[in-house]
Amino acid sequence: MAQSINTTVLDQTLLYIKNNATQVTVCSAEPTTYAEATATYMLAAKTGLTPASFTVAANGAGRKVTMAQQTDVTVTNSGTATHIALCSGDTLLVVATMASQVFTAGNEAKINFTTTIGLI
């Protein structure tokens, strides 16, 4: 059964992320809740994201949202980073995998994030 989603729907999904994400965290495992993203698995976090922190654009067959690189992010917990999460208030919005990287408490990190949605 073929399906399609109007690009307006895709755009609104990504605009919701752009307009509501206020925090990005780097995690040692895949969080499924806000608490896991911001405490249980959190290695580093950056708060104060605003809509200006993101861009939304067409990307081939789908749409993507990109967060501007966040620099000078203090690593608060040591571990191997495997996931990045975007949160709003007390809500986990998006989780994405990342290439595994060892994080050491006290070091500084840079965080990049892009996610794409669309039908394959």
> What gap in Å lies between CA 60 and CA 56, rounded to an integer?
13
Q: pLDDT digits over 21-54, tens only?
A: 999 999 999 999 999 999 999 999 999 999 999 9
Q: How many domains does the chain have?
A: 1
Domain assignment present for 2: no
What order do you get walking across the sheet with 42-47 strand by strand? Answer: 42-47, 23-27, 79-88, 91-103
Domain assignment present for 1: no
The sign of the dihedral angle between the CA atoms of 88, 81, 57, 54 is positive
Paired tokens of 86: 């975007």
Q: pLDDT digits over 51-68, tens only?
A: 999 999 876 666 889 999
Q: pLDDT digits over 100-109, tens only?
A: 999 999 999 9
How many other C-beta atoms are found inside a 10 Å radius of the C-beta of residue 44? Answer: 24
Domain assignment present for 57: yes
Host domain of residue 79? 7-117
Domain assignment present for 113: yes
